[in-house]
A and B are shown apart, each in its own frame.
Chain A
């Protein structure tokens, strides 16, 4: 493109556009790189875009000719096809690399508007592919920024095309063919031109006169109007683009929210195991399959997860949570959730051992309880019931039942709905024992009951050992995690130096301690594509949150032939003095481990406690920016990431219910009482202040009225308003009455033989009537009636004012009497 012919203003627009398109492609590359956790090639896109901006677009050089670009494109395609034969992830990576290489090739070409469109489309495709690979909040933020950048770039592109078009037309007079070529010739020539362009030969324009020598030639110089004092991209343009982006995002989120979720099971098989695939409820991060990092995203949120109150039994008097903690012999209030045993490339999977063992439902022990906890979950979890541990009794909501599973000691929903969680907030009542007062209570939960006969104990221990090794010991990890397996071997020792199981646990916890360089952080680590996240944590970053520490410890113990399992839940609570209850927030989410040592399950927590508390405090005392980040995180998890058909139904249900209620009331009451009641409710908000609901109703009402009025044409609107005024305002009604009185008066006079001239004024007609009917009017005492009617008529007609209701009534009565007098004069017999 020749930049020499552009004016300064146009050149500024060109620079703006080129920077915008460079930012767009570069940003798309960065998003892709972050989602792939790989630098090459996507992360180099900004660099390539900057080089292309300088060398190709600004300096007018050409890195690739069309032929070379096409050959490079074919080469990139060949590489992608070759890599496509590998695993799923490699296939996806090959596809993304192909997109990146195509972007680079297009960046290196001499560009026309078509190439710029290609760049925009390739950027969108890169971001789409990134969406397959990640589902994090960061990606969401980047997506919205990308949307803003895209709208800005395309809008500037529209302006730039106009400027370019004008400059091209100013340089040479366009010649238009007067005779249209036949479609067949046009199609053939187009194919030939495409082939010439593909091979890099210059595309010759088809001369118009070649098709028809007799064709007349019209010379056209197109026009462009632009205020020279105004910038192409002035502040008005920037503001309008910002507004456009807001509208676009709003509409986009609406489309996202209402789009039907019909997940076709099985899928295309392209993206297995790549994303954060969680079936069920992802919002709380407690589902049958959890990706490493999900709990970390929960830890950054201040969202309310549970509320609870503690009462002592049997008196049911409120007591502090510390009493309960003393009874349960723990430092923190813990809600125990899911138990995981299977691990595969950064994903913990509840292999559901309970489902494999059908007779493992364990009845609650028949013993006394010391504490009653009323626990309300803001949203029920998919299968598991999070509750303190141990419990001796659970009272579920009406119509539901809760079972305790023996192997994982989990509480699960049971009964109608096949274990599906109820929707909305759920309140359960849990009764807990005191481990101090009842040491035997631990037996059913943590170890074999020592009161049982020895043979039974042996049998039970053997059975539990077998189960633990079957479900919580994964012998095949040496191949998947070779470095971790080697570390486990070193920690346990060999031969005579082989440590006991308790020593193995101690060594593992020591190795994961801050003294060994491990530190607690909520930052999501960037893991290379080929690396396992836990090995990356253990041997490279040594930084992570509770999920990483607990996962590493569990996997190390499993690699030492010790059955171990990961437990997720919540740890910690806060007292809310206003509402008088305890609150468990999302940032209290936690993960720890349990190991089968000495015939019993031993809970352990490898996460550095002090660092965890510091982090939690920092999350609690956020800055404004961090608060905003928390809001975004909550929104992302609550409204985007966990959007399912059920969630959609939940969103729509209140509106549907409200509509049903309104219709039902409308049907029952009729339209006018319904509207009266509606307005009465609207105008009298409860508690003397404008509630959110009434404000929303008012906004809705005003909007609907405005739209309705806008829809009507002006004349129709005026007619409607006039009719409304006449119908409902007494002034208008009186005015109409006076006009009617005058016409009745004229009719009566004419019937009595007095000719009323339309050319005469009302006052002249009234005077004529007074003279004509003077005797009769005097008899009736209505001498001044014609004059009053004329005065009232003139008053209304010439807009001096309206009659009051009383005046109008008096006038009506007088006219009635006048009619009687006139009627009697017409027919004296009466």
Chain B
């Protein structure tokens, strides 16, 4: 696109309109220093020297703009200074042709020919000036805003809406490109939206779709508005500081029936059964808007059609499920990074499922990673959000404190609480639990029986759930997908 855009540059130079103007000013000064004494014999020598000095000054400015233009522009943007006009490759070619024509006109030795060539030069220059004026007019009095979703799961497409308002009273804005910048850990993307025409005083909205591969915190912005209309030989850019942050949650998968069966077995052994109603054995509670991660079978199509947005049935569970999920993020050789991500995704799926099924039960998430996080929030919805946010930003480290994790989990009264530990080091976990049981006098022996240890291996976890992100990502190879779906179901290990 633009010769001065950073991504495609081979040489570290920046050809902006300012540089071109400075270069032309330098040329004009030198030319005037040469011409004026010829045309006006009384022209003073001091004036000629001043013109030469002016030309040198402009040349110096042009050199600075050429080599440090981008840094200066970034520096100016930090202080809220104005937009930047760029000359794209097509504009540079046009300028080169104009220069050749002008030189040919003056050196042709024939005034008639020279006048014709200068007329061609003038008409090309007219187009150039027109383009510069129009692109400036296109972007003047235009405001832009971006609407992000509250959150998004990794690996699934979500829409970011961009609205552009033209506050001009008479002139419409045409072909305005809005370029967003998305920055995350190891991720950089520049999604774009092009607005063909915004009527005077009008607002148009359009969206781009984005799928971010990794969970985490992503920064959006600044937005960059640019236009090359009409001739495409000059571009004006304008940065708008519309910064925003988006938590990309781990990919929410789908728990397989094996997990639900295991869950029921666990509950049968630890709690009394309750009447089951409705779609997921719960009572109907209300209809609310769809949130990423909701069960798609819960979509209430009639209400969705009425509200023109996806609505889901929310059910209230009568069972008092109590679950403590322990996540040991130990990045050891035994578990690859993908395994860790699968474990996080599995933990997120379990949290979402449990929060969905149990509105009044006690849910708790403990994460031992770079930071020790204890998510213990009352209310299923609040827990769900807090847990996903914690899972979005947790980072595996080589040796997180497993005893601390277990100690925190066992400190509270256990009751009928079910504990699940996801760890890449099950043996170490068992040893740590034994040591903990031996060191604590008031240790509940039932706790050991209720602690279920799930190895943090992708093959084993995929027996319990399907990684939704892996399925949705079209770039994943079919072999990988097959690997996800064909692994046999292992039996869960228990500390007992």
A248 neighbours in B (Cβ, 8 Å): 123, 126-127, 129-130
Tell me the chain A residues, 7-27 only, with Cβ under 8 Å from chain B: none
B189 neighbours in A (Cβ, 8 Å): 176, 178, 218, 220
B33 CB to nearest chain A CB (Å): 11
With CB as the reference atom, state the residue of chain B lying closest to A224: B194
A125-B97, A223-B162, A267-B107 known; A218 vs B113 contact (CB < 8 Å): no
Q: Are B119 and A151 within 8 A (Cβ)?
A: no
On chain B, the residues within 8 Å of A232 by CB distance are 196
Looking across the interface, which residue of chain B has its beta carbon closest to that of A646? B39
Residues from chain A with Cβ under 8 Å of B93 in the complex = 117, 121
- Interface flags for B28-51 (1: CB within 8 Å of A; 0: not) read 000110110011000000000000
**Cβ of A220 and Cβ of B191 under 8 Å apart?**
yes
| Residues A158 and B110 in contact, CB atoms below 8 Å apart | no
User: Could you tell me which residues of chain A, from 190 to 222, have a CB within 8 Å of some CB in chain B?
Assistant: 190, 214-222
CB distance from A124 to the nearest CB of B (A): 6
Render A126-159 as a binary contact track against B, CB cut-off 8 A, 1 for contact: 0110011011000110011001001100110111
Determine whether the beta carbon of B124 is less than 8 Å from that of A224: no
Determine which of B90, B206, B214 lies in contact with A117 in the assembled complex, contact meaning CB atoms within 8 Å.
B90
Chain B residue at minimal CB-CB distance from A269: B109
B169-209 interface with A by 8 A CB criterion = 172, 174-175, 182, 186-197, 204-209
- A410 to chain B minimum Cβ distance, whole angstroms, is 23
Option from A151, A179, A226, A276 in Cβ contact (under 8 Å) with B196: A226
A217→B155 CA distance, assembly (Å)? 10
Contact of A158 with B228 in the complex, beta carbons under 8 Å:
yes
The 8 A CB mask of B151-178 against A (1 = contact, 0 = none) is 0000001000010100000001011000
B208 near A223: Cβ-Cβ < 8 Å = yes
Cβ-based interface call for A165 (8 A): yes
Q: Chain B residues near A179 (CB, 8 Å)? A: 186
Measured CA separation A242–B115 after assembly (Å): 25
Q: Does the CB pair A271–B204 fall under 8 Å?
A: no
Beyond A132-B113, A216-B213, is A225–B193 a contact (Cβ under 8 Å)? yes
Beta-carbon contact of A186 and B192 below 8 Å = no
Are A186 and B10 touching (Cβ within 8 A)?
A: yes
Q: Which of A82-128 contact B (CB under 8 A)?
A: 117, 121, 124-125, 127-128
- Assess whether A356 is interfacial by the CB under 8 Å rule: no
Closest beta carbon of chain B to A423's beta carbon, Å: 14
| Distance between Cα atoms of A192 and B355 in the complex (Å) | 55
Take A151-B230, A223-B207 as given contacts and tell me if A250 and B126 are in contact as well, using a CB distance cutoff of 8 Å. Answer: yes
In contact, B38 and A256 (Cβ under 8 angstroms): no
- Determine if B120 and A143 form an interchain contact, defined as CB atoms under 8 angstroms apart: yes
Q: Answer whether residue A261 sits at the interface, using C-beta atoms and an 8 A cutoff.
A: yes
Is the CB of B346 closer than 8 A to any CB of chain A?
no
Which residues of the partner chain B approach A254 to less than 8 Å between Cβ atoms?
Answer: 122
CA–CA, A677 and B228, complex, Å: 48
The chain B residue with its CB closest to the CB of A291 is B112
A277–B130 touching, CB < 8 Å: no
Residues of A within 8 A of B10 (CB): 183, 186-187, 190
In contact, B107 and A178 (Cβ under 8 angstroms): no
Given A131-B116, A224-B194, A267-B110, check contact A236 B126 (CB 8 Å): no
- Assuming A216-B186, A271-B108, is B157 touching A221 (CB within 8 A)? yes
Q: Complex: how many Å from CA A497 to CA B185?
A: 106
Known A-B contacts A218-B210, A220-B209, A264-B106; A155 and B111 likewise in contact (beta carbons under 8 Å): no
Q: Across the interface, do B208 and A165 meet the contact criterion of CB distance under 8 Å? A: no
A743 in contact (CB, < 8 A):
no
Q: Are A262 and B38 in contact (CB under 8 A)?
A: yes
Q: Report how far A159 CA is from B227 CA in the complex, Å.
A: 12
Residues 96-154 of B contacting A (Cβ, < 8 Å): 97, 101-102, 104, 106-127, 129-130, 133-134
- Measured in the bound complex, the distance between the Cα atoms of B475 and A255 in whole Å is 55
The answer on a CB contact under 8 Å between A154 and B231 is: yes
Does the CB pair B112–A244 fall under 8 Å? no
Given A252-B126, A275-B110, do A132 and B193 touch, yes or no (CB 8 Å)?
A: no
Q: Is there contact, CB below 8 Å, between A128 and B196? A: no
**A-side contacts of B210, CB under 8 Å:** 218-221
Stretch in A61-69, A338-346, A367-375, A637-645 touching the partner: A637-645
What residues of B have a CB within 8 angstroms of the CB of A214 in the complex? 186
Flag if B192 contacts A222 (CB, 8 Å): yes
| Residue total for A at the interface (Cβ-Cβ under 8 A) | 94
Number of interface residues of B (CB under 8 A): 81
User: Which residues of B lie under 8 Å from residue A250 when comparing CB positions?
Assistant: 126
Given contacts A215-B186, A643-B115, contact A159 B196 (CB under 8 A): yes
**How far is A125 from B175 in the complex, measured between Cα atoms in Å?**
28
Q: 1/0 contact trace for B241-260 toward A, CB 8 Å? A: 00000000000000000000
- Does B212 make an interface contact (CB < 8 A)? yes
List, in ascending order, chain B residues with CB within 8 A of A224's CB. Answer: 193-196, 206
Chain B residues near A157 (CB-CB < 8 A): 232
Q: Using an 8 Å CB-CB cutoff, how does the interface string of A250-279 with B read, 1 for contact, 0 for none? A: 111111100111111111111110111111
Residues of B within 8 A of A154 (CB): 127, 230-233
The interface residues of chain A lying within 8 Å CB-to-CB of B188 are: 176, 178, 180, 218
Residues of A within 8 A of B8 (CB): 186
Q: Which residue on chain A has the smallest CB distance to residue B230?
A: A155
Cβ contact within 8 Å between A255 and B122: yes
Chain A residues in 8 Å Cβ range of B232:
154, 157-158, 161
Residue of A nearest to B193 (CB): A223
- Interfacial chain B residues near A183, Cβ < 8 Å: 9-10
Q: From residue B472, how far is it (CB to closest CB) to chain A in Å?
A: 10
> Quick check: is A684 within 8 A (CB to CB) of the other chain?
no
Contact across chains for B208 and A221 when beta carbons are under 8 A apart = yes
The residue that B187 contacts in the complex, of A144, A162, A218, A222, with Cβ under 8 A, is A218
What's the least CB distance linking B140 to chain A, in Å?
Answer: 12
CB within 8 Å for A225 and B205 given contacts A143-B123, A151-B231, A262-B106: yes
Q: Are B112 and A230 in contact (CB under 8 A)?
A: no
Task: State A224–B189 Cα separation when bound (angstroms).
Answer: 17
* Nearest chain A residue, comparing its CB with the CB of B39: A645
Which single member of A135, A143, A222, A247 contacts B130 (CB below 8 Å)? A247
On chain B, the residues within 8 Å of A256 by CB distance are 118-119, 121-123
Residues B7 and A162 in contact, CB atoms below 8 Å apart: no
In the assembled complex, B229 has its CB within 8 A of some CB on chain A: yes
Cβ of A175 within 8 Å of any chain B Cβ, yes or no, is yes
Inter-chain CA distance A139–B230, complex, in Å, is 26
In the complex, which residues of chain A have a beta carbon less than 8 angstroms from the beta carbon of B212? Answer: 218
Q: Which of B118, B172, B192, B229 contacts A158 (CB 8 A)?
A: B229
A219-B157, A223-B206 known; A277 vs B125 contact (CB < 8 Å): no
Q: Is there a chain B Cβ closer than 8 Å to A755's Cβ?
A: no
**Cβ B127 vs Cβ A162 within 8 A:** no
Query: CB-CB < 8 A to B129: which residues of A?
Result: 248, 251, 255
Q: How far is the CB of B204 from chain A (nearest CB, A)?
A: 5
A197 to B45, CA, bound (A): 56
With an 8 A cutoff between CB atoms, is A227 at the interface? yes
The distance in angstroms between the C-alpha atoms of A223 and B180, with both chains bound, is: 11
**A131 and B213 contact, Cβ closer than 8 Å, known pairs A224-B193, A255-B126:** no
Residue B318 interfacial (CB < 8 Å): no
Task: For the complex formed, measure the closest distance between the CB of B22 and the CB atoms of chain A, giving whole angstroms.
Answer: 18
Whether A128 touches B112, Cβ cut-off 8 Å, given contacts A219-B210, A220-B210, A223-B194, is no
State the CA gap A649–B38 with chains docked (Å). 13
Q: Within the assembled complex, what's the spacing in Å between the Cα atoms of A270 and B191?
A: 51
The 3 closest A-B pairs by CB, nearest first: A267-B109, A252-B126, A256-B122
B binding-site residues for A, Cβ under 8 Å: 7-10, 31-32, 34-35, 38-39, 90, 93, 97, 101-102, 104, 106-127, 129-130, 133-134, 157, 162, 164, 172, 174-175, 182, 186-197, 204-214, 228-233, 473-475
Name 12 interchain pairs, CB-CB below 8 A, sorted by A.
A131-B117, A217-B475, A218-B189, A221-B208, A221-B210, A223-B208, A252-B122, A253-B122, A255-B121, A256-B122, A267-B108, A276-B112
A128-B117, A222-B194, A244-B134 known, 10 other contacts, Cβ within 8 Å: A124-B124, A217-B213, A227-B197, A255-B129, A256-B122, A262-B38, A267-B107, A267-B110, A277-B111, A277-B113
